[in-house]
Structure 1
Amino acid sequence: MADSVLIEGLAVETVIGVYDWEREVTQQILVDLDMAWDNRAPGRSDDVADALDYAAVSERVTRCLQELKPQLLERAAEVLADLLMKEFGVGQLTLTLRKPGAVPAARSVGVRIERGSK
């Protein structure tokens, strides 16, 4: 199946980083998700109950990152992937986390992971 649900550029303000000063401020993380999802049922029914609710996913991702306050993007990515697979039944996903401004000469730095079976 090649269907997916996308969330791109979800901006989350949270505490993230390993340096002391980073633990005292919030910084922005940008989240991109490509989640495998069979869109045939919601395509036929036009009912959100049959779909992967991207608003609910976005709210849950935001809440998770704000509560987690990770030191590393890698930790945040693993926790989010596990959460999305367990709580929303996503079987496969590609998750990208970016931290704009972390390196002055770069627009952003980040990590990308793929989890689940294709």
Structure 2
Amino acid sequence: MADSVLIEGLVVETVVGVYDWEREVTQELVVDLDMAWDNRAPGASDDVADALDYALVSERIGQCLKELRPKLLEHGAEVLAEVLQREFAVGWLRLTLRKPGAVPTARSVGVCIERGVR
């Protein structure tokens, strides 16, 4: 199966970083997510109950990152991937977590992980 559900450019405001000043402010994280999902059933039924609810997934991503307040992007990505796979029965995902402005001469820095079997 090569179907997937995408969420791109999801912005979450949270506490993130290792420096003392970073633990006192919120910063933007940007999430891109590609999740393996069989889209044949919702494609045939036109019923959201058969689909992977990307609005609910997006809400859960924001909640998770706000509660987690990660020091490292790597930690945020790992926890987020585990939560999404467990709670939404996603067998495979590719998750990119970016921190815009972290390096003044770069648009953003980040990590990209793949978890599960496609």
**Correspondence list, 1:1-118, <5 A:** 1-118=1-118
Q: Which runs of 4+ in 1 moved over 6 A?
A: none
Deviation (angstroms), 1:93: 0.3
> What is the SS of the residue equivalent to 1:33?
strand
Q: Distance in 1 between matches of 2:14 and 2:80?
A: 14
1:24-66 deviations in whole A, cap 9, x for unaligned? 0000000000000000000011111100000000000000000
Structure 1 spans left out of the alignment, 5+ residues: none
- How much has 1:19 moved relative to structure 2? 0.1
Work out the CA distance in 2 between the residues paired with 1:28 and 1:94: 20
SS in 2 for 1:75: helix
> Which residue identity is paired with 1:15?
V
Q: Structure 2: where are the runs of 5+ without partners?
A: none
Paired-residue identity, %: 78
Aligned partners of 2:73 and 2:51: how far apart in 1?
Answer: 28
RMSD: 0.3
How many residues align? The count is 118
Which AA in structure 2 matches 1:38? D
TM-score, normalised with respect to structure 1: 0.99
